[in-house]
Structure 1
């Protein structure tokens, strides 16, 4: 990830290791994403191509990722504060589920960002043409529902799988520990998923 300014706006750019053909359906999806305005969705700015690498551009949120806020432990998160953050995520996720996107598909505490007013915004929504070809690390799959890991449903995701991912994020906020608390477990991420992963 890198950061830069476009005029007065600070942007976060995420590098994607995929080759993307900008076909009409891909461009239409990106145009729709640029039109989305919701208090709990991070604003999608666009796509940039530099030296053959593709970057998705999002509005920068000053407090970083929710995962960073949780793991730094610098904030005393009381019950009301946690509940408010959970409601922010649920509101953003509900908007996605009611929209033409229908699912997020990759919801994690890494792609929930926190602005300077402590409002949580869901990021990395849409982008199906990129997600389709992007390989996820084992750590990135810690929020993935078992039925997706087993290949029982389409890899794009389901609403139910998004709710599972939301529950993992909620557990992170309540326990103030990373997903599955791997630092304090005997097994690694690979051990959690079993030998077939």
Structure 2
């Protein structure tokens, strides 16, 4: 009698993870754009592609040299926490007005020199909530200068965006801008 073959199937990716991450990025943009010293917010990474199961949300924020990063880091922690609730992640990358990568937002609620032995930032706490782990993470200068999708203050598409990015991120941002212009924010 012939042996029956057992069919082993891969578990399909969670189709809603993209939608979830895009919705959370939209919430982050709404919070971050209100932070003093924020000049630009852009989406980078796998959410700008058609990748079915992105592992994280990557956002690039351009800030003043003297911007207080407290509120921005809090918004970033909220995005990171929500993403982690779905076994995903998020990174808030920071650039200065000269288009230099300066690090990421600190993921700790308290940030000051010497408080965290495990902190791998070059200058832990020197600038509150700046995690300048430049030995571990850097961004290409071209990506900082021309990110794939700028979300705020202007919407700039540098490629054809996936349909879900258009529907879940761009259209709500455009609708919010239209309401603000008519005074119905």
Q: TM-score scaled to structure 2, two decimals?
A: 0.31
Q: Which has the higher helix share?
A: 1
**Structure whose CA Rg is larger:** 2
Q: TM-score scaled to structure 1, two decimals?
A: 0.29
